[in-house]
Chains A and B, each alone.
Chain A
């Protein structure tokens, strides 16, 4: 049941990817995704896919797990790809009444499929190899320069950490309330949509009540500890870039450089 929801999907490990600094991973993932989307050359795209394969191998995350992350999105990806197949102009290869498929459309549809799959696989890879706390810490430090523009970075990361921390608690609470209302004969399996929505009121309402109660309790607890935002706060675990991070950055600079070069010198798909 809801107990099975994995919030985040961190798989603890000691692989190369696990040991990288979360900031390195966030930035490199972002650059990778941008590359996957702007690449116009088949060679460059193939190169990036191979790179992704190498990274998955380095991460010690079973390929099955990565596939499991992609799987729920496949219908959406296929739908998006199909729309493109039908709507891109070019030389028609198939024509029947209003349906017209062009060679350009086929290629764009197919590459979009590849791009979106790579996007999700790439994102899943970083969440598999980085704990949520690390991700939050990495994000906080990456956004730190925005403080200059009065952007509440500390508060944002605090909110993020609290949200992540309480998701499993709320999931547990949800389980408990569902059981309690089922014990009073709640019928949640009704096929009728209206009835189904109605049946969930006695579950959602207490869930909100308890979420608010928890929030108030937490606010009190935080205030009692004199929290006042990020002013003067230090960290117990300070993130430091290691030699491994510099090696990874150099490696990726070369890889991304190659990818750009492929785009420049072999710019077509054919």
Chain B
């Protein structure tokens, strides 16, 4: 069963002003437990608007958002309870840190849920371990941590609410390659351990290719392509048309094919491409 289901969501910004703009149009989407979904799209394609509909920060002009089969806008006053089930991590989440210790900042979400102190403490430790930081961080000043550590503390602040879906808007923006790898390792472990679904917005085709199971491509507020990673990246021409690209390694394979080498261009990660190239060379040896 889907945790969240979006049915024909449409949304306009600034209705009735000269700045009116159609931001989303007829979006349908559902997320199952444990899924890993990637959303890609050009700047201004509606990605951030879309994820703000997941937890009721924005209310669609038409269409429904169902969480556990119930319309989240049926009781607008209880929208807060939805936000604990759908965890949203914004771009550069470290800028929202406010508390004087790491523990207090991570505890903000669970505290808003009205949990008792003991459960909160337990959740804080658990969340901290999910992002790969040990208990020695609990009493440290978050503003004195490195950028990557701050980012992880901020993500832990959302994980501590134990959401059924974790939505991340460009979680690796501004991190070094080591930090990116580290973050993804922990996200993957977290997803496996807790069966939490992850929805990730990203600009990096490599990240998408490497980690997610299903990709949505947004353009001008519409879903223009959707499917498994290889099936989406098989449409290099269409992606280019929307100002997007295929992973670099796929590009390399496409280049080889153009030169007349009989390669299969469905590989989207370096590992897959390596296997494909080895196969190609082995095939030559046989001749």
Chain A interface residues (CB < 8 Å from chain B)? 176-177, 179-187, 201-203, 205-206, 209-210
Chain A residues with CB under 8 Å of B109's CB are 184-185
B38 at the interface (CB under 8 A from A): no
A183 and B90 form a contact (CB under 8 A): yes
Query: Could you mark each residue 220-235 of chain B with 1 if its beta carbon is under 8 Å from any beta carbon of chain A, else 0?
Result: 0000000000000000
B215 at the interface (CB under 8 A from A): no
A206 and B84 form a contact (CB under 8 A): no
B57 and A182 form a contact (CB under 8 A): yes
Given contacts A184-B157, A185-B83, contact A202 B108 (CB under 8 A): yes
Q: Which of B64-72, B95-103, B189-197, B199-207 contacts A (4 or more CB under 8 A)?
A: B95-103
In the bound assembly, the distance between CA atoms of A256 and B80 in angstroms comes to 60
B112 at the interface (CB under 8 A from A): yes
B25 at the interface (CB under 8 A from A): no
Given contacts A183-B83, A184-B108, A184-B109, contact A177 B96 (CB under 8 A): yes
B158 and A186 form a contact (CB under 8 A): no
Residue of A nearest to B86 (CB): A183
A205 and B98 form a contact (CB under 8 A): yes
B46 at the interface (CB under 8 A from A): no
**Chain B interface: which size bin?**
20 to 34
B83 and A187 form a contact (CB under 8 A): no
B93 and A206 form a contact (CB under 8 A): no
Residue of A nearest to B55 (CB): A183
- Smallest CB separation, A210 vs chain B (Å): 6
Chain B residues with CB under 8 Å of A201's CB are 98
Chain A residues with CB under 8 Å of B89's CB are 183
In the bound assembly, the distance between CA atoms of A187 and B98 in angstroms comes to 16
Given contacts A177-B96, A209-B95, contact A185 B112 (CB under 8 A): yes
One of A182, A206, A209 near B83 (C-beta < 8 A): A182
In the bound assembly, the distance between CA atoms of A201 and B96 in angstroms comes to 11
Given contacts A177-B95, A209-B95, A210-B95, contact A183 B57 (CB under 8 A): yes
In the bound assembly, the distance between CA atoms of A185 and B79 in angstroms comes to 9
B41 at the interface (CB under 8 A from A): no
Chain B residues with CB under 8 Å of A179's CB are 52, 57, 90
What 15 additional pairs, Cβ within 8 angstroms, besides A180-B90, A183-B89, A185-B161?
Answer: A176-B90, A177-B96, A179-B52, A179-B90, A180-B93, A182-B83, A183-B83, A183-B90, A184-B109, A185-B80, A185-B84, A185-B112, A202-B98, A202-B99, A205-B98
Residue of B nearest to A173 (CB): B95
Chain A residues with CB under 8 Å of B80's CB are 185, 187
In the bound assembly, the distance between CA atoms of A184 and B84 in angstroms comes to 7
In the bound assembly, the distance between CA atoms of A177 and B90 in angstroms comes to 9
Given contacts A176-B90, A179-B52, A179-B90, contact A184 B98 (CB under 8 A): no
- Smallest CB separation, A206 vs chain B (Å): 5
A186 and B93 form a contact (CB under 8 A): no
In the bound assembly, the distance between CA atoms of A135 and B90 in angstroms comes to 37
Residue of A nearest to B57 (CB): A179
Residue of A nearest to B110 (CB): A185
In the bound assembly, the distance between CA atoms of A181 and B109 in angstroms comes to 8
B87 at the interface (CB under 8 A from A): yes
A183 and B95 form a contact (CB under 8 A): no
- Smallest CB separation, A178 vs chain B (Å): 9
B158 and A206 form a contact (CB under 8 A): no
B23 at the interface (CB under 8 A from A): no
Chain B residues with CB under 8 Å of A177's CB are 95-96
B161 and A206 form a contact (CB under 8 A): no
B88 at the interface (CB under 8 A from A): yes
B95 and A206 form a contact (CB under 8 A): yes
In the bound assembly, the distance between CA atoms of A21 and B113 in angstroms comes to 57
One of A183, A186, A203 near B87 (C-beta < 8 A): A183
- Smallest CB separation, A68 vs chain B (Å): 14
Complex interface residues of chain B between 88 and 129 (CB less than 8 A to chain A): 88-90, 93, 95-99, 108-109, 112-113
- Smallest CB separation, A89 vs chain B (Å): 50
A186 and B97 form a contact (CB under 8 A): no
In the bound assembly, the distance between CA atoms of A187 and B97 in angstroms comes to 17
One of B99, B112, B157, B158 near A187 (C-beta < 8 A): B112
Query: Could you mark each residue 70-84 of chain B with 1 if its beta carbon is under 8 Å from any beta carbon of chain A, else 0?
Result: 000000000010011
- Smallest CB separation, B106 vs chain A (Å): 10
A183 and B88 form a contact (CB under 8 A): yes
A184 and B57 form a contact (CB under 8 A): no
Residue of A nearest to B81 (CB): A185
Complex interface residues of chain B between 155 and 186 (CB less than 8 A to chain A): 157-158, 161
Q: Counting chain A CB atoms within 10 Å of each CB, which of B87, B97, B112, B161 scores highest?
A: B112
Complex interface residues of chain B between 21 and 61 (CB less than 8 A to chain A): 52, 55, 57
In the bound assembly, the distance between CA atoms of A187 and B113 in angstroms comes to 10
Chain A residues with CB under 8 Å of B84's CB are 185
In the bound assembly, the distance between CA atoms of A209 and B108 in angstroms comes to 18
Residue of B nearest to A187 (CB): B80
- Smallest CB separation, A169 vs chain B (Å): 13
Residue of B nearest to A199 (CB): B112
Chain A residues with CB under 8 Å of B112's CB are 184-187
Chain B residues with CB under 8 Å of A184's CB are 83, 108-109, 112, 157-158, 161
